Structure 1
């Protein structure tokens, strides 16, 4: 049975009242909350009982799931490769080191490009495009009052997007009849072990997810329609962090 006491807007995260949200299992499932909520399922239901036939068909076709092996392979790929482009990661690491050395104040675009040049890069071409795109999306998402994306948030990787997908896929596998809920939770826990090590809070994970989604689908290009595409995730995760809106991330601890 769905809990309909939550807000009914697009950012609501519906819960299933038969599955307590204060449990360790719920905490693990919350890593995939954004993906599960987008597929109109209660995020805390490991049985995926609300999955419609239409949703099942779409997920199966999009991801190519026809067996448990298919599903496990995709979860492993997302968890280990994480859609990473190593040069992008190196450029983010340069900025992160500079921010840490400056009390958390991230370098401006010009300073970041200078750091890249000092480290053996050119600060031109693809590197310039990358820096400009990150700055563009961060200006679009970030604002001083945001609980998810405060103005000076320094994203250190785009891994959150792939890990959020990897945490949801096993539950979809249950809905597709490929694995049991217990098997799915084992896979979800493995993904969580990676995410909880890399990130220090729901907010850090959410920032990485939002920016990672924008950069992945835009292929690193600064484009307004990709801001709109990822803004849905930003709004949804801000809701998840808001206790006044019943946000699960507001009450569930990051460390489990």
Structure 2
């Protein structure tokens, strides 16, 4: 039983604590092998050496030796300017260890789920054995609904805004409700933000947060096509295409007729598949895909914290605003999710019903059914 004086921050630490209580060393190692391990680094070093990691040992009073300290995600302190945290798996640490490195790896020091792992040759063989059993070597299991029970918003307007970004967080196997966000670690967060968004400066981050909150990154053509159907009323596919032709004759929308008709066909194809796969009710249609931007805005705000491009206060304000926009635009989490899914599919999937579609479908079903999902625990009203 977990003593009332200490609540594990997440299921990660809960599992480690229970294994420690049982004295089950193998189970403890296996759980460590399934988690990202966060190692503190001087920020200047991490910026100058993104492909390298320093092992800076510290004194451990229990072993009376030097050790290397790592943390699981729920045990991390709030992000500060310096140091930052980078991630590695237990298998990676085993392969990276050298004879001159400390004799112990200590997980979550000073906590009830602390573990002291021997780093000698025999000990590291155990690390590698546990790592070999992990279905997700070198990364956290995902998709998964992970909740930060201590230090994360669980109710209220900030939690609602965080839940708007849950599709992305679940897909990546990260805490949906971590406002003080470390993500996948400083170096990886910087790399991802630069690779996927071209964002590496505070100015660009602020610009993108604002654009996403205005839903300016959503294609005007998608919104125009959906607006035609919504404003006109129930339309058959042929009537929707005819309405598009009439609109093109009287209004320039910055796109060819062929492109507008392809967009309509894509929306119809996705809605049909959404209904078959339980993502959209049989009688429902999608009115707007602004959710695609609002959900990403919730996450972009937190990516600014993890990369140190923005402050926690700025991120919280943006998340709060994203939540208000979602609530005023949609009627339910299911309504929001279908809109987000269509935006993601139009942007990435291009009618292939491939990995991008399967990913958003899986995240949707997890968020609509997992008992720990914010969409089942944060009321819409």
TM-score range, shorter chain: 0.7 to 0.9
Q: Deviations over 1:42-74 (max 9, x none)?
A: 111111135324532323322333343221111
What is the rounded CA distance, in whole Å, between the counterparts of 1:131 and 1:166 in structure 2? 26
Matches within 5 A, 1:120-159: 120=248, 125-143=258-276, 146=278, 148-159=279-290
The change in CA–CA distance for 1:59 and 1:107 in structure 2 (over 3 A counts) is same
What is the rounded CA distance, in whole Å, between the counterparts of 2:220 and 2:305 in structure 1? 33
**Match for 1:22 among 127, 139, 155?**
155
**Match for 2:221 among 66, 76, 87?**
87
Partner of 2:293, secondary structure, is helix
Q: What is residue 174 of structure 2 aligned with on the other side? A: 41
Q: What is residue 190 of structure 1 aligned with on the other side? A: 321
What is the rounded CA distance, in whole Å, between the counterparts of 1:97 and 1:169 in structure 2? 31
| Conserved 8 A contact 2:147-2:177 | yes
| Conserved 8 A contact 2:155-2:378 | yes
What is the rounded CA distance, in whole Å, between the counterparts of 2:257 and 2:205 in structure 1? 40
What's the offset of the Cα at 1:124?
A: 5.6
Q: What is residue 240 of structure 1 aligned with on the other side? A: 367
The count of corresponding residues between Structure 1 and Structure 2 is 241
Q: What is residue 97 of structure 1 aligned with on the other side? A: 231
Q: What TM-score comes out, normalization by structure 1 length?
A: 0.81
Q: What TM-score comes out, normalization by structure 2 length?
A: 0.57
Q: Deviations over 1:193-223 (max 9, x none)?
A: 32222222212211111001111225xx433
Partner of 1:45, secondary structure, is coil
What's the offset of the Cα at 1:176?
A: 1.3
What is the rounded CA distance, in whole Å, between the counterparts of 1:132 and 1:65 in structure 2? 33
Higher strand share: 2
Matches within 5 A, 1:162-201: 162-201=293-332
Structure 1 position 108 matched with structure 2 position 236? yes
Q: Which runs of 5+ in 1 are unaligned?
A: 100-105
Partner of 1:241, secondary structure, is helix
The change in CA–CA distance for 1:3 and 1:181 in structure 2 (over 3 A counts) is farther
Q: Which runs of 5+ in 2 are unaligned?
A: 1-8, 15-139, 251-255
Q: Which runs of 4 or more aligned residues in structure 1 lie more than 6 Å from their structure 2 counterparts after TM superposition?
A: none
Matches within 5 A, 1:48-63: 48-62=181-195, 63=197
| Conserved 8 A contact 1:82-1:163 | no
Higher Rg: 2
The change in CA–CA distance for 1:164 and 1:202 in structure 2 (over 3 A counts) is same
